[in-house]
A and B are shown apart, each in its own frame.
Chain A
């Protein structure tokens, strides 16, 4: 497995993820990013708390925030930057994935 595959997080995303982990009472847990099949364009993004780490997971550290990605998802997420946006009606994390060829408007699923 090539080791140069990577994801990025903006400082805002790191800050918000740390806040969420602290609020959950598990500041030591990690954040899992990934993709799974399904959704209108083939794949959907996954962002969740990770209490456990798989043996094959890639581990990243962003200013003390641990981020895990399974090797398969990493291929799809390579080059992705996770950002955090605050809009009038909504706020939350956003995947900016240069590999994304077709988005389904809602940004929850994509094709490559």
Chain B
């Protein structure tokens, strides 16, 4: 449960600090003089730096995208940061990752381009997608964000730094400054406080990269003395060794193991590794299909296993010290950065290398973002507070009519312009081949009570089961107040757009009147919305049940069939009576009553699979089952993939 800070409508936008990492990215800001990370809906500060390109133009970013990497390696860009600012002919380029590269055409810059779904995407564009999501997440918490400090590795050259700035610009972020990652970590620890000189080492072991940096503080300014590292070393290597060990104990050759088993072993290894951070022993449990394996493991055993990985950090540390002309004991402090520095064996190793206890009070995943937030706050603090920006806002919410006549607000009232937001919707009925879009303006809960701005239809969608089509609707209001609504079906790429000026024919008095009306009807509006949503939900469950009965009705005996028919009849009665509470209860009742049918349909699907039917057919059958219709059917929309598109 996130906690709220009081928003000040007249305060300048909050500056943010961004750690744009190879594996994960984070965004932080200051609250009462302390840095704090923005959490996503899963309460995690870490956004996986992974972008998945959908077939026709849509993108997924983060955890959801990461889940696509195994099945769609070429359409899912991981670690794009490794390619930032690299030329297409750079020998490093082709070595890193399973991607197809597009060669620059005549007159094009010599930049790496990934060939994804028939188009060329630059690392800058991939990074911009990640930054956009970070910005959206920050705006959800802070409402308005100001300039950003973005961190980059100390060894980034000018081209790589410029590429990072370009990505920020694409994402609509104002870059206050780029900051070296190790410097950010030092700022987070406040090493510039209370002293003007000093020498520090930053030991950064992430999931897939290792960096060590020697910093010197001179007259309160941090400077990079030397850097070193290994771009292919990190916690993932520990997981790999640990997983191979587990597979060995299972009597499986890692080289010939199925991808599913390898994935299961890697996941189990990561879980056990995390547990061994706080405990002297744990149990590693691998389950994949018929195979399962459990064994308790002591931390010391694990440490022996991963020792080669930990030892590989030694040469880079020694070289960085030598390049800076320092002996280990001349370092005034060592900072730990990166999730892998939580592993006790790593901490021990660092202690041995530098002959001192490293600093580790601040979460090593968040410390760089914290430093960036501190720097952003300092930079924005100069003068920005006096000239508070006057921003234009949208006077009334803009939204769409969804099933049941409910008005879904896409851009809420008082959003500053220019603004944009995309939301995904899906089909309500099996075989639905078109979407009718009704754009409405106002604060009322029902579309009919709001001002109708435009209607248009998106046709030509292939008939699919309900919920399979994905419609992305984007609302964009430019600086002049012009609204562009774009609807695109993501499986087919079919697109339709419309432009309207929402303020046309709308006076200040009208706005006031519409607001007052929404106040007058607040209670009845809420009740009606709830009722309409419950009825929509109920009707979908009925439709799904009927569809299942048509195909597999023979799976039920007479009594079961009668019970199901009775439950449907009872639900229809309360729908007709418009009794919201009973509709809700009986929808759940019907849902429970369909469980035996759902289970038997699953069994039948599996049996048919044994008879050699194509896997795709079975997947369709399984997908279609009404096991949890309320999950797929609760609303005719799927709002989880909201994303900013300003």
Contact = CB atoms under 8 A, between A and B. Distances in A.
A106 B5 contact: no
B216 to A, nearest CB: 31
Interface residues of A, number: 44
A49 B8 contact: yes
Interface in A66-112: 70-72, 74-76, 85, 87, 89-95, 103-109, 112
A42 B6 CA distance: 21
Contacts of B5: 47, 92-93
Contacts of A76: 526
B610 interface: no
Contacts of A85: 3
B519 interface: yes
A41 B526 CA distance: 15
Interface stretch (B38-46, B198-206, B321-329, B426-434): B38-46
Nearest to B415: A38
B7 interface: yes
A20 to B, nearest CB: 5
Contacts of A20: 6
A75 B3 contact: no
A75 B522 contact: yes
Given A37-B399, A40-B642, A107-B1, A48 B6 contact: yes
B445 to A, nearest CB: 9
Contact of B2 (A24, A31, A106): A106
A17 B530 contact: no
A72 B443 contact: yes
A58 to B, nearest CB: 10
Given A37-B412, A40-B639, A93-B3, A1 B519 contact: yes
A38 B409 CA distance: 7
Contacts of A95: 4
A83 B397 CA distance: 29
A45 B73 CA distance: 39
A70 B2 contact: no
A31 B6 contact: yes
Interface in B515-539: 516, 518-520, 522-523, 525-526, 530
B363 to A, nearest CB: 8
Given A38-B409, A40-B41, A71 B3 contact: no
A51 interface: yes
A39 interface: yes
Contacts of A106: 1-2, 39-41, 43, 140
Interface in A21-68: 24, 31, 36-42, 44-49, 51, 56
A7 B412 CA distance: 23
B141 A108 contact: yes
B447 to A, nearest CB: 13
A40 B4 contact: no
B9 interface: yes
A6 to B, nearest CB: 14
Interface string B1-44: 11111111110000000000000000000010000100111110
Contact of A56 (B2, B31, B412, B516): B516
A37 B397 contact: yes
B518 to A, nearest CB: 5
A9 to B, nearest CB: 13
Nearest to B530: A112
A17 B4 CA distance: 12
B140 A39 contact: yes
Contacts of B639: 40-42
A28 to B, nearest CB: 15
B561 interface: no
Contacts of A112: 526, 530
A112 to B, nearest CB: 6
Contact of B1 (A24, A91, A94): A94
A49 B522 contact: no
Contact of B522 (A44, A71, A107): A71
A85 B519 CA distance: 31
A45 B7 CA distance: 11
Contacts of A92: 2-5, 31
Contact of A90 (B3, B7, B414): B3
Given A92-B3, A92-B5, A106-B2, A75 B526 contact: yes
Q: Most A CB atoms within 10 A — which of B1, B4, B639?
A: B4
Given A71-B519, A89-B36, A48 B8 contact: yes
A49 to B, nearest CB: 5
A74 B4 contact: no
Interface in B458-494: none
Nearest to B8: A49
Contacts of B140: 39, 44, 106, 108-109
Contacts of B526: 75-76, 112
A80 to B, nearest CB: 12
Contacts of B397: 37
Contacts of A108: 2, 4, 140-141
B3 A87 contact: yes
A47 B7 contact: yes
Interface string B390-433: 00000001010000000011101110000001000000000000
Q: Which 7 residue pairs of A and B lie closest in terms of their CB atoms, listed nearest first?
A: A92-B3, A37-B409, A107-B1, A71-B519, A48-B7, A72-B522, A75-B522
26 contacts: A1-B520, A1-B522, A20-B6, A24-B8, A36-B412, A39-B140, A40-B639, A41-B639, A42-B639, A48-B6, A49-B8, A70-B519, A71-B520, A72-B525, A75-B525, A90-B3, A91-B3, A92-B2, A92-B5, A93-B3, A103-B1, A106-B39, A106-B43, A106-B140, A108-B141, A109-B140
Given A105-B1, A112-B530, 20 more contacts: A1-B519, A1-B520, A31-B6, A36-B412, A36-B414, A37-B397, A37-B408, A38-B409, A39-B140, A45-B4, A48-B6, A51-B10, A72-B519, A87-B3, A89-B363, A90-B3, A92-B5, A106-B40, A108-B2, A112-B526
